[in-house]
């Protein structure tokens, strides 16, 4: 099929991702496959591969491609993991996770965003390994816990305690933390203990 966005997507993958140090081939492959233009309003499709975040309605945004790739790479996925994502938004990060993990459980506060993401991912793009919940992300999704990976795409001031309980032993959680200046923090759970490592400065919408 003739895909007018394929060239832009390949260029984004090389120039914005590989050139800046994203090296995990599975992540690069996923970023080169997921049609980012489908996750934004029609009028924004021409800008879908610019090097920045884009609005997705309801005051929310889809992250810059580099940040999506960076976070996915820092999750160190083998392809076998169950991942809990907080903040479905457009569903773009969920699609990248669906390509790189085994199952994705994604929780969103705004029902319209959750339904829109589901219609696109399941109905149009055919992903069968993504599960959707409308609710408060701070509470996670106990029914399907534990998760080998947890990723927050909205920023709380502190990592929500229930989510640590839902993280599998040996698992990794990634979250932007802070109110003003935020840092992306990576947690590892080892023998029940949590180690934290600060990665980079980021700007996410707040977890509310
Ligand atoms: N991952 C998304 C971008 C997320 S933007 C993407 O790839 O498009 C952050 C999202 O977190 C928004 O959709 C917002 O509604 C949601 N959110 C904010 N607070 C939340 C909460 N407490 N629980 C669940 N979702 C929340």
Q: What's the pTM value of the predicted model, to 2 decimals?
A: 0.97
Domain assignments of the chain as residue spans, ordered by start: 51-202
Q: Which of 47, 63, 90, 183 is catalytic?
A: 63
Rounded mean pLDDT of the chain?
96
Topology classification of domain 51-202: Rossmann fold (3.40.50)
Whose tokens are 């996925």? That residue is: 77
pLDDT in tens, 148-168: 999 999 999 999 999 999 999
CA dihedral 75, 78, 83, 89 (to 10 degrees): 70
pLDDT in tens, 66-94: 999 999 999 999 999 999 999 999 999 99
The tokens describing 106, both together, are 């994604």
Closest CA to 200 of 83, 71, 96, 88: 71
State the Cα angle at 199 between 104 and 58, rounded to 5°.
50
Determine the residue of 38, 88, 150, 208 to mutate for testing ligand 1's pocket, defined as the one with the most ligand atoms within 8 A of the Cβ atom: 88
47 part of the active site: no
pLDDT in tens, 97-153: 999 999 999 999 999 999 999 999 999 999 999 999 999 999 999 999 999 999 999
């Amino acid at each position: 099929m003739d895909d007018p966005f394929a060239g832009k997507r390949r260029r984004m993958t090389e120039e914005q991702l590989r050139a800046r140090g994203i090296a995990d081939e599975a992540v690069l492959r996923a970023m080169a496959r997921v049609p980012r233009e489908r996750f934004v309003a029609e009028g924004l499709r021409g800008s879908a591969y610019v090097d920045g975040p884009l609005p997705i309605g309801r005051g929310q945004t889809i992250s810059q491609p580099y940040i999506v790739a960076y976070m996915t790479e820092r999750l160190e996925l083998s392809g076998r993991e169950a991942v809990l994502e907080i903040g479905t938004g457009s569903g773009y990060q969920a699609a990248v996770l669906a390509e790189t993990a085994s199952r994705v459980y994604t929780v969103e506060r705004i029902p319209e965003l959750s339904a829109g993401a589901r219609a696109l991912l399941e109905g149009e793009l055919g992903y069968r390994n993504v599960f959707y919940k409308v609710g408060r992300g701070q509470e996670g999704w106990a029914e399907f816990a534990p998760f080998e990976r947890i990723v927050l795409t909205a920023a709380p001031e502190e990592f929500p305690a229930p989510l640590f309980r839902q993280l599998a032993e040996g698992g990794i959680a990634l979250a932007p933390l802070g109110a003003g200046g935020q840092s992306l923090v990576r947690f590892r759970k080892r023998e029940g203990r949590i180690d934290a490592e600060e990665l980079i400065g980021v700007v996410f919408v707040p977890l509310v």
